[in-house]
Structure 1
Amino acid sequence: MTTDPWGRVDDDGTVYVRTSEGERVVGSWQAGAPEEALAFFQRKYDALLTEVELLEKRLATTDLSAAQALSSVQKLRTSVTDANAVGDLESLSARLDTLTERAEQRKVEQKQAQEQARGEARDIKERIVVEAERVAEETTHWKTGGERMRQLIEEWKAAPRADRPTEQALWKRMSTARNAFSKRRKAYFAGLDEQREHVRSDKEKIVAEAETLADSTDWGPTAGRYRDLMQQWKSTGRADRATEDALWERFKGAQDRFFQARNSVFAERDAELRVNAEAKEKLLEEANQELLSLSDPREARARLRDFQERWEEAGMAPRDSRERLEGAFRTIEDSVRKAEEKEWERTNPEARARAEATVNQLRNSIADLEGKLEKARTAGNDRKVREAEDALTARRSWLAEAQKALEEMS
């Protein structure tokens, strides 16, 4: 009989392995020496030992999942328990027990990590959804809003996954926000198209009227109507760009045709009116020299009437000099009128009587104050002396002005 610390081979070739519970038959050997039998079954043990060591290394140095580790341990445990091998099988079982404990611990750690990752994924996707809902509800800048919504969809796809119920609930909100944004944008542009159609219709009417006025020779009213049409054009709003540009070209073309024709006619008319302007320039020079040099306002008024008749007979001046010439002639008329008013005030009997009364009243007041001043001096009343002197100074100043005004009326 051949023996080993962990097994033996009986004389009949039966091979045993020793365990704490006693011996167990693991096989028989008839083909050779008993030593070869032990070596053969020891190699089977070594193979199991190698598998256990590899599993220990994988669990210690790789990110082997707990489930895979437990599955591998279970398979090895079955192999070790029923192993037809010679060796310390119980130590292998003990090492597998340790591996089971490590795998269970990893299972707990992996579950915690998974829950944390899902929580972080939920937070990330919750933020994405909230942003998408804000864009869907508030954005009116459709281009940037559409770009932002597309970016959020890509961020969603790139984000880690949360647990399935949370993922489904958040995606439902995300999808709802995207659809709401698309509906709002579609409704806006539909309304904008309708609005632009109204604008196009209104501007078509403006252009049609402008084109009917293009050949009008009723210069003043037509020019005013074109100004009104321009204000209507500005206040109507904008159609789409192509329509807006086309209608504007028609409107501007009609307007330019009218004003070019009017300017041409006015230019010819102004050329004819240059002679009138020259005549009025001479009348201004003559009136300034003659009327403003006359000392008798009545004579100036009579001569002014003659100048006014000659001014009207001279005719209309060109537009570029009309306002200047008319303003200069009005200045001459105002000067003659003011001279007449001043002469009337000077010779008005009622005004002269009032001026004489004022002079006499001031003289009497001064005489009375002089008497009071003399009495105050005699009495030695300094306060009344100062009061009388101040009053006399004021009255004498007023009297000088009143006498001057009276002399001018003489």
Structure 2
Amino acid sequence: MSSDPWGRVDETGTVYVRTADGEQVVGSWQAGSPEEALAYFERKYEGLVVEIGLLEKRVRTTDLSAKDAQAAIDHLREQVDAHHAVGDLEALRGRLDKLVATVEARREERKQQRARQSDEARKAKEDLVVEAERLAQSDQWRAAGERLRALVDTWKGLPRLDRKSDDELWHRFSHARSAFSKRRKAHFAQLDAQREEARRTKERLVAEAEALSDSTDWGPTAARYRELMAEWKAAGRAQREHEDDLWNRFRGAQDVFFAARSSVFAERDAEQSENLKLKEELAEEAEKLLPITDLKAARAAFRSVNERWEAIGHVPRDARPKVEGRMHAVERAIQEAEEAEWRRTNPEARARAEGLTGQLQAAVDKLKAQIEQARAQGNNARADKLEKELEGRQALLDQALKGLQEFGG
């Protein structure tokens, strides 16, 4: 008979293993010595140790499913419970029991993980649905369309939920995409209609612009071109393939007209500039009549200047007030001199002569103050103009003073 701490072989060749419940028959050995029998069944025990060790490692280091792990544990437990090995079978059962606990813990952990993932997936899909429903109302067609396509890709990458929840959320998501697509299609259909209407309107505007391009009715035609431009802007854009061609034709017709008008106006400006020089010379000639000492001669001389003035054509509009103002100042001086002469010779004027002299003196003083103020402000043009007027006023004042002397005589 042969034995070791975990088993023995009796004289009949029967092999036993020692367990907590007593000895259990392992098997019968007739092929060799008892030592060989023990060694054989001990190797079978070592084989179980190795298999259990490998399973422990798989459970610890891989994503072996709980179902497969439990099946492997059950298979090994059957071998241990069959008592076909010599060794510490209780220790193996203990390791298998620990594995069962580990697998159960892993199963629960994965269950909770799946629950968390499901909650996260539900939240993610609900967020996608909310965003899709918001985008369904957007008018940013390109950006919203691209974002909706990105949301679809994100949806596909998320885990499925339970069928009912997944179907409900997908229905809302799909409905939002369909609503956006329907609105976008309607928008672009309307836009196409508007652009077609704009094309017809602009073709009409182009036809009129081209018909007006050779007009020489400068003012009304330029005004009509401004109206056509306003109508063009109000018409909106035509289709891209028509817009540029229509604009080039429209702008080209305007350019022809305005180039012709500019050429004519340039000639007119040159003529009016020459007229201005002539009128400035006449104004200077008229201003030499001031101060008026001989009213009859001044009146005749101014009449001659004015006749030549009227024979000259138009001057540039912006220069007209200044040059005409110079002539008017001389004319006013002559008129005031005539009025002074009338008052001087009018028997009833004596009483008003002194009042007139005072008014003229106040006017002269006021003009001097205004000239001084204009010089101080650097407005020499106004000061020069006022000085011309001052000369006339001073002349009238001198005449009034002279008239007072005559009244006094």
Take 1:334 and 1:313, find their aligned partners in 2: how far apart are those partners? 20
2:313 aligned residue (302, 315, 318)? 315
Secondary structure at 1:137 match in 2: coil
1:329 aligns with 2:327: no
Take 2:89 and 2:350, find their aligned partners in 1: how far apart are those partners? 148
In structure 2, relative to structure 1, the CA distance for the partners of 1:228 and 1:53 (3 Å cut) is: closer
1:261 corresponds in structure 2 to: 260
In structure 2, relative to structure 1, the CA distance for the partners of 1:63 and 1:195 (3 Å cut) is: same
Take 1:342 and 1:116, find their aligned partners in 2: how far apart are those partners? 110
Q: Is the Cα contact below 8 Å between 2:280 and 2:323 reproduced in 1? A: no
Superposed counterparts of 1:66-105, under 5 Å: 66-105=66-105
1:388 corresponds in structure 2 to: none
1:45-91, CA deviations, whole angstroms, 9 ceiling, x for partnerless residues? Answer: 22122222332344345554433332221221122222423333333
2:250 corresponds in structure 1 to: 251
How far did 1:209 drift? 0.5
In structure 2, relative to structure 1, the CA distance for the partners of 1:75 and 1:85 (3 Å cut) is: same
Please say which of residues 52-61 and 75-84 is displaced more in the overlay: 52-61
The one-letter code of the counterpart of 1:234 is K
Secondary structure at 1:315 match in 2: coil
Secondary structure at 2:27 match in 1: strand
How far did 1:5 drift? 4.5
2:123 corresponds in structure 1 to: 123
2:374 corresponds in structure 1 to: none
2:209 corresponds in structure 1 to: 210
2:286 corresponds in structure 1 to: 287
1:163 aligns with 2:158: no
The one-letter code of the counterpart of 1:221 is P
2:396 corresponds in structure 1 to: none
In structure 2, relative to structure 1, the CA distance for the partners of 1:111 and 1:408 (3 Å cut) is: farther
Please say which of residues 269-278 and 21-30 is displaced more in the overlay: 269-278
The one-letter code of the counterpart of 1:328 is V
Q: Is the Cα contact below 8 Å between 2:292 and 2:337 reproduced in 1? A: no
Secondary structure at 1:234 match in 2: helix
Q: Is the Cα contact below 8 Å between 1:297 and 1:336 reproduced in 2? A: no
How far did 1:104 drift? 1.4
The one-letter code of the counterpart of 1:259 is F
Take 1:314 and 1:353, find their aligned partners in 2: how far apart are those partners? 41
How far did 1:177 drift? 3.4
How far did 1:212 drift? 0.5
The Cα RMSD (Å) is: 3.8
1:133 aligns with 2:128: no
2:59 corresponds in structure 1 to: 59
1:219 aligns with 2:225: no
Secondary structure at 2:44 match in 1: helix
In structure 2, relative to structure 1, the CA distance for the partners of 1:312 and 1:227 (3 Å cut) is: farther
1:369 corresponds in structure 2 to: none
In structure 2, relative to structure 1, the CA distance for the partners of 1:74 and 1:13 (3 Å cut) is: same
The one-letter code of the counterpart of 1:193 is D
TM-score by length of 2: 0.71
Take 2:124 and 2:303, find their aligned partners in 1: how far apart are those partners? 95
Take 2:332 and 2:125, find their aligned partners in 1: how far apart are those partners? 90
Superposed counterparts of 1:124-203, under 5 Å: 124-138=124-138, 140-158=139-157, 160-161=158-159, 163-165=161-163, 166-203=165-202
1:352-408, CA deviations, whole angstroms, 9 ceiling, x for partnerless residues? Answer: 57998xx9xxxxxxxxxxxxxxxxxxxxxxxxxxxxxxxxxxxxxxxxxxxxxx989
Take 1:125 and 1:211, find their aligned partners in 2: how far apart are those partners? 60
In structure 2, relative to structure 1, the CA distance for the partners of 1:350 and 1:45 (3 Å cut) is: farther
Q: Please list every run of 5 or more consecutive structure 2 residues that lacks an aligned counterpart in the other structure.
A: 359-399, 405-409
In structure 2, relative to structure 1, the CA distance for the partners of 1:300 and 1:148 (3 Å cut) is: farther
1:400 corresponds in structure 2 to: none
